[in-house]
């Protein structure tokens, strides 16, 4: 059945309204539940539904994801089986993933503000800290690792929120069976791997810290860190883990932010932050000093995607329709204090121009008047 044929089709308790995309594991749909709430339904591809090991792992991880309650993690409302198809129903996020946002930002504004990368990285670390500390019903540590922290798996909301997505590749370290994955299906993206992940070393929570460092570096510079022309070249760059300070490409990056980013991207896990919580704590004063947070992100994102932000519809959770925001691109590049100075300077320039025009007109009148008197 084609995507066009299934639009408007009832899928269990959900009415599918729009197919948002298809990946290696699932098709993703915007849907309406029986209460009228807008959400997202992920339908696992039929080819995977025939794999008993994958289905068992999916069910286990779906149950685990549904337990997660954190403001920086996308919420899972429901999971189950409908006519042989496994699915997840999750929170519908009004916004853009970081990949899309950064492409638009660099195209329209050039070098990104340092506060953006610092703030998003801090929020991702908070999400990871929660995930890493998660326990089972008996209170035993689950030792979860996300394993797929990347630009495309971080969503920026038009309300200024930051949410970590896609725990489909998260695995419990103690679960040997779950650790076995199908090639090309549940592996993290190569350009966001930690060196120990490709060297068969011990992998723990610090691999997620490294991936968060990559996300932060790329947001601070507007460039890709390890991505190369081929997969093999990408893996070689990851293995070498040679990283220049972000400030080399973006002078707005402070020495403190440079130090945090480079520590997170240390080749040896022992030289990185011991936990995502420790990295978040290190970022707290930097984010505060850069005066960047949810309101600034909301303004910046709505300025970049004004049309999309304006067309978001209200859902049953009480989200209100967002109004168009006519934020100028200069405002997106500069912090408020500098923007105020720019506006003052422009007023000064305008006033000077008006004075010059007035003087010019007066001079012209005087010349003409003098000529008329001769």
CATH (domain of 28): 3.30.200.20
Task: State how many domains the chain has.
Answer: 3
Q: Is 81 known to be catalytic? A: no
Please report whether residue 321 resides in a domain: no
- Confirm if 166 and 194 have CB atoms less than 8 A apart: no
Residue 176: per-residue pLDDT: 34
Residue 63: per-residue pLDDT: 84
Q: Which mean pLDDT values do the consecutive 10-residue runs of the chain (374 residues) have?
A: 64 93 86 93 87 84 86 92 91 94 92 95 97 89 90 95 76 38 48 91 93 98 94 94 97 97 97 98 97 96 92 45 30 36 39 41 39 38
- On whether both 120 and 239 belong to a single domain, the answer is yes
Residue 6: per-residue pLDDT: 59
Please report whether residue 303 resides in a domain: yes
**Burial (CB count <10 Å: 0-12, 13-18, 19+), residue 366:** exposed
Please report whether residue 374 resides in a domain: no
Residue 72: per-residue pLDDT: 96
Residue 82: per-residue pLDDT: 92
Please report whether residue 34 resides in a domain: yes
d(CA 260, CA 282): 7
CA atoms within 13 A on the CB side of 87: 24
CA atoms within 13 A on the CB side of 294: 9
Which residue is catalytic, options 51, 59, 97, 148? 148
* Other Cβ atoms within 10 Å of 303 Cβ, number: 21
- On whether both 73 and 103 belong to a single domain, the answer is no
Residue 348: per-residue pLDDT: 43
Structural domain of 37: 3-91
Please report whether residue 115 resides in a domain: yes
- On whether both 170 and 274 belong to a single domain, the answer is yes
CA atoms within 13 A on the CB side of 210: 31
- On whether both 155 and 200 belong to a single domain, the answer is yes
Residue 330: per-residue pLDDT: 32
- On whether both 62 and 113 belong to a single domain, the answer is no
Alpha helices in 90-230 (DSSP H): 98-109, 114-132, 176-179, 195-198, 206-221
């Amino acid at each position: 059945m084609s995507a066009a044929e299934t639009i408007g089709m009832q899928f269990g308790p959900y009415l599918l309204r729009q197919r948002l995309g298809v990946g290696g594991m699932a098709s993703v749909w915007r849907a309406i539940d029986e209460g009228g709430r807008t959400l997202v339904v992920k339908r696992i591809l039929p080819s995977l539904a025939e794999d008993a090991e994958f289905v068992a792992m999916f069910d286990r991880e779906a149950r685990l994801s549904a337990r997660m309650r954190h403001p920086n993690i996308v919420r899972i409302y429901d999971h189950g089986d409908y006519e042989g198809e496994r699915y997840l129903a999750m929170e519908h996020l009004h916004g853009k993933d970081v990949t899309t946002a950064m492409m638009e930002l660099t195209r329209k504004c050039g070098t990104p503000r340092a506060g953006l990368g610092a703030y998003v990285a801090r929020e991702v670390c908070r999400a990871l800290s929660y995930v890493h500390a998660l326990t089972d019903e008996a209170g035993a540590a689950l030792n979860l690792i996300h394993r797929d922290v990347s630009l495309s798996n971080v969503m920026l909301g038009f309300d200024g929120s930051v949410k970590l997505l896609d725990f489909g590749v998260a695995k419990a370290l103690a679960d040997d069976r779950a650790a076995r994955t199908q090639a090309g299906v549940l592996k993290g993206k190569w350009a966001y791997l930690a060196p120990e992940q490709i060297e068969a070393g011990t992998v723990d929570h610090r691999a997620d810290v490294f991936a968060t460092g990559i996300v932060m570096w790329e947001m601070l510079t507007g460039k890709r860190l390890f991505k190369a022309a081929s997969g093999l070249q990408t893996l070689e760059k990851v293995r070498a883990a040679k990283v220049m300070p972000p400030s080399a490409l973006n002078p707005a990056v402070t020495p403190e932010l440079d130090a945090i980013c480079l520590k997170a991207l240390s080749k040896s896990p022992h030289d990185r932050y011991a936990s995502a919580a420790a990295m978040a704590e290190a970022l707290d004063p930097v984010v505060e000093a850069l005066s960047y947070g949810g309101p600034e992100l909301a303004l910046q994102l709505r300025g970049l995607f004004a049309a999309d932000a304006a067309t978001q519809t209200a859902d049953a959770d009480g989200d209100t329709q967002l109004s168009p925001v006519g934020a100028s691109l200069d405002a997106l590049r500069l912090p408020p204090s500098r923007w105020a100075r720019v506006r003052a300077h422009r007023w000064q320039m305008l006033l000077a121009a008006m004075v010059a025009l007035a003087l010019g007109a007066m001079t012209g009148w005087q010349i003409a008047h003098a000529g008329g008197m001769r």
